[in-house]
Amino acid sequence: MVYKERTRTMPTKRKLMTPQDVQGAWAIMPTSAKEGAESWRMTDSLDLDASVDAINGLIDSGIDGILTMGTYGEAATLTLDEKKRFMACLVETVAGRVPCFVGTTTLNTRDTIELTRYAADLGADGTMLGLPMWCTPTLPAAVRFYKDVAEACPDMAQCIYANPEAFRFDFPPPFWAQVADIPQVVSAKYTAIGQLIQNLELTRGKVRAMPIELDYYAGARIDDDISAFWSSGAVCGPKPTIALRDEVARARETGDWTKAKALTDKMWWAVTPMFPAGGFREFSMYNIAIDKARMQAAGWMQVGPARPPYDMMPDHIRAGAETAGVRWAEMAKEAV
């Protein structure tokens, strides 16, 4: 589909989302790049046509929500103009069919507020918001940051991007005890199931805790309040992601978790090659490049190259990422 950028009018303000509105499978979407985007010389790297195709494909598959412009969406490498144009493309294409959250993390509070207000004016439902990444945040500074953005952008829901590796902050229980009372904070994107479970009682009913798809089965068995998850695999082929959501829902009704576990085990088989040496340490060094290579190899979405300076990785790590993409594509073709 060819996307035509247009002059936009102010949207009708939507009601602020609540934690109860956050349910099911939420896809994490990369920002498609044109060929040659790995060069600093390219001033417009956006492939908006590919983005439109992916957005429509995710919604048509039955995905419940879309998160963008985080790590995989290359928020750290897009120019301000590219961020604004991609946000507009996303909101216009989604057209209210599912909730969409855009990443507005910057190096400081004022720029974050300006970008979040821009996204709100476009009609985005919320922001997937991490902490500024220059100084290591203190607990008071981290809490104040989310409070300040909420005060400045009261109509914009927040999904806290709780990634300790990316933001050099552990997101400890005292943090959740304070941000859980911010009405705009409706969900939290976790990278570790242990951290999620540790904080669940502090956020229950106030913040929807969202594990990665690989941890959704385990989390759902532990607590019924875990009823939403985020998926990076969805853009490698959304069929397994949708199937996991439905199998967990079915298991909650029947008590038979066999199929949900089997599908989760298959997902782990698919993604294992993209973790160098079987761990997270090296993965976090090449996170953007690894996942974009994985997604491109899967072939479901035209992702394009990673942007500088996060486009480089060793050949053996690239090979593992591509193997993970091919495995997911194979899994997506199966009847699940």
Catalytic residue of the set 3, 72, 146, 161: 161
In this prediction the pTM is 0.94
**Model confidence over 56-98: pLDDT tens digits?**
999 999 999 999 999 988 989 999 999 999 999 999 999 999 9
Q: Is the pLDDT of residue 15 over 70?
A: yes
161 classed as catalytic: yes
Contacts of residue 321, Cβ cutoff 8 Å, sequence gap at least 6: 273, 274, 289, 290, 291, 293, 294, 297, 313
Is the peptide bond prior to 174 cis by the omega test (within 30 degrees of 0)? no
**Distance from C-alpha of 85 to C-alpha of 9, rounded to nearest angstrom:** 14
Q: To the nearest whole number, what is the mean pLDDT of the chain?
A: 94
Strand order in the sheet with 228-231: 208-210, 185-190, 157-162, 126-129, 100-103, 65-68, 24-29, 228-231
Catalytic residue of the set 3, 146, 189, 217: 189
**Model confidence over 192-246: pLDDT tens digits?**
899 999 999 999 999 999 999 999 999 999 999 999 999 999 999 999 999 999 9
CATH topology of domain 19-333: TIM Barrel (3.20.20)
Do 163 and 136 touch, CB atoms closer than 8 A? no
pLDDT band at 107 (very low <50, low <70, confident <90, very high): very high
189 classed as catalytic: yes
Do 61 and 18 touch, CB atoms closer than 8 A? no
> What pLDDT is recorded for position 11?
52
- As a dihedral over the C-alpha atoms of residue 176, residue 179, residue 183, residue 185, rounded to 10 degrees, the angle is -70
